[in-house]
Copies of this chain bind each other. A is one copy, B any other.
């Protein structure tokens, strides 16, 4: 047994103990501590910024890209956003203790299904130091103990943020940060199923796949979003243009951005020129299937790979399909089951699309960008799950809880 192993297991045992104490806090008690965490983040800002400067200097030394350095960078404004986010979580209702269902059986036993915290949650993430606060705070709000394992690039910033949170009066070990950033620490954490009830990896596909292959406890994955928009033959063409442009260009680097546009052949001649013009005005590169190229000769030829790609930049792949069935089959085969949209004036067609597309979010006449916990009214979001078990789509506070059956009898025995 290595030292890393011993230290992380010790953190696991401590997290379990903390979880039992956390589960007994009232919503009011947790909110007082959350507000104190926001205050502590603001008060510790100079220390957090100093630590972040160390990470940034090391990152430049290592030659991180400017996009990476930007993800890593904290300033007064980002720290205030972090603190304000914590204050906002404190205003949300506490899901713990909620009675999900209650009923009485003919023999008089009274059953209630009551929301309880999950217990202990491991968060494995990469370069963004704000995840330290965001994830820990959402887990705390829902009465879970957290073990955080951030990336090496942000280690000094993460330590400073975790120290600020810990100074705010939460039960000891409610929020713990692993001081190691090597791969072994991920492996140890993922194998520790006695002490950890759930792992949430937040980061790239490589990180998620590593965690999935190692984990002996449940994992909730936030994989990629290969999102589609299908412009049906009965689409309002102006709306279809507006939704395509908004879905693709509003924030191209996120998982709910549009990647693939499917167009019903009956409207292709009328729809493709205006949508292409609007996309090009926003500097979007268009890659089309052969039939698209007949209408848009300037477009690039889409490769087979493009249909399975999350571009995350100003590129869109466009395909003409013969029918709703073909659109649905394409999405179910090539998509990532994240968010897919139909634009149509025909309600029956829309309902068929919503029912047949096997994705977390299926939209009618709406931008893909609304696939978001905030837009759904959840108040806070830990991510968008591409899993089907436990939590699917935008994950709010409820998705960070489990339940237990509390049953009251008066001496009933089984005959």
Report A's interface with B, CB cutoff 8 A: 20, 23-24, 103, 105, 109, 111, 116, 118-119, 193, 197-198, 212-213, 216, 218-220, 236, 239, 242-243, 246, 250, 332, 350, 354-356, 358-367, 369-371, 375-377, 387-390, 392-394, 402-414
Contact = CB atoms under 8 A, between A and B. Distances in A.
Nearest to A352: B24
B212 A388 contact: no
B389 A246 contact: no
Contacts of A409: 363-367, 370
Contacts of A109: 366, 370, 375
B390 A360 contact: no
B365 A408 contact: yes
A356 B25 CA distance: 11
Given A23-B358, A376-B405, A404-B359, A388 B119 contact: yes
Contact of A414 (B213, B246, B355): B246
Nearest to A191: B213
24 contacts: A20-B332, A23-B355, A23-B358, A24-B356, A105-B377, A109-B366, A109-B370, A109-B375, A119-B358, A119-B388, A354-B406, A361-B407, A362-B407, A366-B411, A367-B412, A369-B414, A389-B389, A389-B390, A389-B402, A390-B390, A392-B402, A392-B403, A392-B404, A392-B405
Given A392-B403, A413-B246, A414-B250, A218 B387 contact: yes
A361 B413 contact: no
Contacts of A119: 358, 388
Contacts of A243: 411, 413
Contacts of A375: 105, 109, 414
A322 to B, nearest CB: 18
Nearest to A246: B413
Contacts of A23: 355-356, 358
Nearest to A354: B406
Nearest to A363: B407
A159 to B, nearest CB: 30
Contacts of A360: 404-405
A326 to B, nearest CB: 14
Given A354-B406, A392-B402, A403-B392, A411 B239 contact: yes
Contacts of A366: 109, 407-409, 411-412
A237 to B, nearest CB: 12
Contacts of A364: 406-409
B406 A362 contact: yes
- Rank and list the top 7 A-B pairs by shortest CB-CB distance, nearest first: A366-B409, A246-B413, A369-B414, A390-B390, A388-B402, A218-B389, A239-B411
Contact of A242 (B118, B220, B363, B411): B411
